[in-house]
A and B are shown apart, each in its own frame.
Chain A
């Protein structure tokens, strides 16, 4: 298993633990990640909101570098927003090949050329299909059997391109979570929007969405995410929401590879668990009395 790896800007900063845990889990499962050399920002939601052409050109640069870097086609992307921006270039150039002319014209000064060979894949897709729940189950060292998890997919790994899951009723995370021994919280908010970058421009609107999601997750021991923006929105504003509604909505929020990594017996430090913003005391206590799986 060999992949080009596109971490994206968040994974160097506010989502460092997503990068650490992705590398740790993929590495321990025998996958090789080759970081795209000198990768640059995908444009996030900012390029799309100001210039259509820029929103394609910024991800195109990264795809072109990956193509230049060798025969491997798959580009592994953990951030859902980066994933969609990169995927969009793959999908749009396939449907409208005339786009190649414009994009390659824009990239020419950097001696880069996009040929359409790159295949963009979300981390969840790779974990579900290439690693697989069965392989993970066989390697589990610490069982999460007393835990109940709420899988939260967010939007952009599911929509608009239905690549690896049902965009209306996503379930791809369930076998992976169950492989750790944990139960699944039954809810229908897994694919509901958290407000994304609106938290920075229309905070009150985003807080409404996040409140509904936190309420829906009540009863679960943790929410499991696959996107840095979802993670930040769900973990960082809990205090504000609790104060506003006078309702206990505290909950642990973990990245999927952090959960899988813990189950595989990787250390909390290797998975960056101390960097999360909302790991509750109760959750930490549960982690410490976890059972080791006897083989």
Chain B
């Protein structure tokens, strides 16, 4: 118990509590029933169960939350959201945690953050995602030799089928530039 209290105190000083505040609001009414855990297809690969994660969120234990892979493993299937007897937006709460990890570039979530960011950079450049270009940038950013190899046979098949193109589209127009900029500006004020 003392250990827990010490941990909480430690958290309170280390973590700006307001980062978690909107998420605490989302799961405030959680009764710890575990329906989310029982419904989650990825629970087998998680370190903390979803149920426990919501408790950690409510307790403000930021360090434990952001050392856990649980929220990063949420695949947005919405089973927990559908079944939560309290009607809580649990999938959105998972996304909100992913957003913090991405904004703060936390090393633990490097691979998924690089995936999302490279995807969005391709979208920002062209208006639509160019699957080949985006995967190439993603692999380059990962600086891993092993990971791209796992996708190489599929890449070859897709190219042979003409489903992905090696030609990078030229779209100097950047049709989404103002939307991206306006979102960033608005987020800075929130």
Contacts and interface: CB of A to CB of B under 8 A. Distances in A.
Interface of A: 9-10, 12-14, 16, 38-41, 43-55, 57-58, 61, 102, 105-110, 155-156, 159-160, 162, 167-168, 192-193, 195-198, 200-206, 208-209, 236-237, 239, 274-275, 277
B157 A277 contact: yes
B26 to A, nearest CB: 12
A58 B91 CA distance: 19
Given A38-B175, A200-B115, A208 B123 contact: no
Interface string B113-151: 101110110010001111110010010000000000011
Contact of B99 (A44, A52, A275): A52
B45 interface: yes
Nearest to B127: A40
A14 B79 contact: no
A105 B182 CA distance: 8
Chain B interface SS verdict (over half): helix
Contacts of B32: none
A204 B41 CA distance: 13
B96 A52 contact: yes
A236 B182 CA distance: 38
Given A156-B77, A160-B78, A202-B72, 6 more contacts: A13-B165, A45-B116, A52-B99, A57-B183, A105-B186, A200-B138
Contact of B178 (A47, A109, A155, A168): A109
B175 A50 contact: no
Given A40-B175, A109-B178, A54 B183 contact: yes
Given A51-B187, A198-B73, A201-B115, A110 B178 contact: yes
A51 B175 contact: no
12 contacts: A14-B158, A48-B76, A49-B112, A53-B187, A55-B95, A57-B179, A106-B186, A155-B75, A159-B81, A198-B73, A200-B151, A203-B150
Give the interface SS of chain A, mostly helix, strand, loop or mixed: helix
B82 A160 contact: yes
Q: Which of A50, A106, A156, A192 has the most CB of B within 10 A?
A: A50
A155 B77 contact: yes
A74 B55 CA distance: 41
B176 interface: yes
Interface of B: 41-42, 44-45, 72-73, 75-79, 81-82, 91, 95-96, 98-99, 102-103, 111-113, 115-117, 119-120, 123, 127-132, 135, 138, 150-151, 153-154, 157-158, 161-165, 175-176, 178-180, 182-183, 186-187
Leading 6 A-B pairs by shortest Cβ distance: A159-B78, A193-B77, A109-B178, A46-B119, A46-B116, A155-B77
Given A41-B123, A106-B182, A167-B82, A205 B115 contact: no
Contacts of B162: 275
Contacts of A40: 123, 127-128, 175-176
Contacts of B42: 193, 195, 198, 205, 209
Nearest to A45: B76
Contacts of B135: 200
